[in-house]
Amino acid sequence: MTQTAAAWLAELTDFYTPSATEFDAARRHRASIEARLDAYLGVLEVFEIGSLRHGTDVWYYSDADFLVSHKGIRPGSSWTTKDLAHDGYHASAIEQLKLLFDR
């Protein structure tokens, strides 16, 4: 079957564009991470940066990058914030695993 170049490009674009379900899942995931960080650090704002935000991502090779501005005093070291974020993430992961196994 032959098709026009425009039709082929439209089909290709649809193939590589995430579905509404995938976008919703990503939105929920971001919200859960933001909520956990807010509980541990106090989040002022979350900025999406990087290739995904700018539409220059490469399918299956790119991820989403976020920059978080948090409340409170400036930490003495970047390791302080990293450790707090790491602890908050792992606490969330452990809670999710408990929910899975408690079913």
| Residue 43 maps to a domain | yes
How many Å apart are CA 53 and CA 62, to the nearest integer? 11
Host domain of residue 87? 19-101
CA atoms of 52 and 74, how far apart (whole Å): 29
Mean pLDDT of the chain: 76
Q: Let me know if residue 46 belongs to a domain.
A: yes
Does 1 reside within a domain?
no
**Is position 4 within any domain?**
no
pTM: 0.56
Residue 7 lies in a domain: no
Q: How many domains does the chain have?
A: 1
Confirm whether 6 is domain-assigned.
Answer: no
Residue 25 lies in a domain: yes
Burial label, 90 (beta-carbon count in 10 A; 0-12, 13-18, 19+): exposed
Examine residue 45 and state whether it is found in any structural domain, yes or no: yes
Cα 34 to Cα 57, 62, 63, 66, 89, distances in angstroms: 22, 20, 17, 10, 10
Q: What is the pLDDT of residues 59-92, one digit of tens each?
A: 676 677 888 887 877 767 777 767 777 776 666 6
